[in-house]
Amino acid sequence: MKLPFRLNPVLEHLPVYQPGRPVEEVARELGLSARGVIKLASNENPLGPSPAALAAVKKAARGMNMYPDGSAFYLKRKLAARLGVTPAHLVLGNGSNDIIEFLGHALLGPGDNIVVSQYSFAVYPIVAKLFGADVITVPARDYGHDLPAMLRAVTARTKIVFVANPNNPTGTAVSAAPMRRFAAELPERVLLAMDEAYVEFQDKPVDLLPVIRAGRKPNLILLRTFSKIYGLAGLRAGYGIGHPEFIAALEKIRQPFHVNLLAQAAALAALDDAAHVKRTRRNNDAGRDFLEKALRAMNVEFVPSSANFVLARVGAGQEVFEQLQRRGVITRPMGGYQLPEWIRISIGTPAENRRCAGALRQILRGRKK
């Protein structure tokens, strides 16, 4: 039926985010039990949530007849102490994706544009287009950000430059000196949104917190999340760190209770579970080494990763993704990112990594014949 009212015209051409496929959905389709299917498709924590977070959620659930604290007093206070900033430097989100949308509300309208790198996170263009803004995509360099070219691409109508570091889906990272130079040279009227969803996986992250603490760069925001290393993707909690004046504007945009009770309780507990974070990093380092070695042995090109996933050039990406899926291994096809020969594989547990590598080896051997 044709709708009797006119939709917002931006919806007609708005791209749709393609998430990693859920285990239950794939299992249902294959007629398998969910236990026979593994998901290495959304960069989730393969070790599960922190046990302390799980306990905190159980306890907090008793109070779920009440609205959560919309200002998330305790979570902001703990985060601020951890980061060496004040609660006024922090905005929370229903996942950090929520904050990306706040940035659109705050800054973007028809005729404006954002600057992104080729092969960067799909949510940036979706949000830009939702607000009627254009997307300037700068060709990647070795699958990573070409920062000088991104700087040159800025126009009078550029409102936001997004830099994901490490980047998803390529796993590349920019180093400190070029990043600092870029931040210094970007015109002050343009917001630099540094998406640091995977920063906790890095040995030597670029640390821009001193710039925030100094208070001299109101056009910088760092985006982080509890979805990845903290293992809370299902609860939806992320945060932005920026200049208090800009944060105050974003606080007006958010819904009154956008980070739910359980997410706040879990995030608070997860921040204190250093052991879980350490375990997760160790598992990731070992799993990434294993997977990269296995890919090398199969003669499969990959992009060396600074995150918890590896982008691998398997040939016919969509077909290999489907063949892996039939073997109960869910990965992420990359056609939507204009990388049709590639799949992205999240690092799993040692057993999951072995299973994925084994299945891929079988498939690629079969395809060569």
Ligand X SMILES: *Cc1c(COP(=O)(O)O)cnc(C)c1O
- The residues that touch ligand X, with contacts defined as CB under 6 A, are 43, 95-97, 121, 164, 168, 195, 197, 225, 227-228, 233, 238
Residue number, 43 or 331, with CB nearest to ligand X:
43
Residue number, 163 or 359, with CB nearest to ligand X:
163
- Least Å distance, CB 190 to ligand X, is 19
- Least Å distance, CB 198 to ligand X, is 7
Cα–Cα nearest to 200, from 147, 146, 262, 276:
276
- Least Å distance, CB 272 to ligand X, is 20
Q: Which residues pair with 163 in a beta bridge?
A: 194
Cα(234)–Cα(219) distance, rounded to whole angstroms?
30
- Least Å distance, CB 226 to ligand X, is 7
Cα(167)–Cα(144) distance, rounded to whole angstroms?
7
120 touches 162 (CB < 8 A) = yes
Residue number, 195 or 292, with CB nearest to ligand X:
195
Residue number, 123 or 153, with CB nearest to ligand X:
123
19: exposed, middle or buried (Cβ count in 10 Å: 0-12, 13-18, 19+): exposed
Cα(246)–Cα(205) distance, rounded to whole angstroms?
24
Residue number, 101 or 292, with CB nearest to ligand X:
101
182 touches 203 (CB < 8 A) = no
Q: Which two tokens stand for residue 327?
A: 């073997």
Give the number of other Cβ atoms within 10 Å of residue 275's Cβ. Answer: 11
Cα(174)–Cα(164) distance, rounded to whole angstroms?
9
Residue number, 198 or 359, with CB nearest to ligand X:
198
- Least Å distance, CB 309 to ligand X, is 9
- Least Å distance, CB 33 to ligand X, is 27
Give the number of other Cβ atoms within 10 Å of residue 10's Cβ. Answer: 14
Cα(216)–Cα(223) distance, rounded to whole angstroms?
18
Residue 193 makes CB contacts below 8 A (sequence gap 6+) with 100, 103, 160, 161, 162, 163, 221, 223
Residue number, 240 or 287, with CB nearest to ligand X:
240
Q: Which two tokens stand for residue 107?
A: 């800054």
The residue behind tokens 């285990």 is: 23
Residue number, 129 or 228, with CB nearest to ligand X:
228
- Least Å distance, CB 326 to ligand X, is 26
Residue showing the smallest CB distance to ligand X in the complex: 95
- Least Å distance, CB 47 to ligand X, is 17
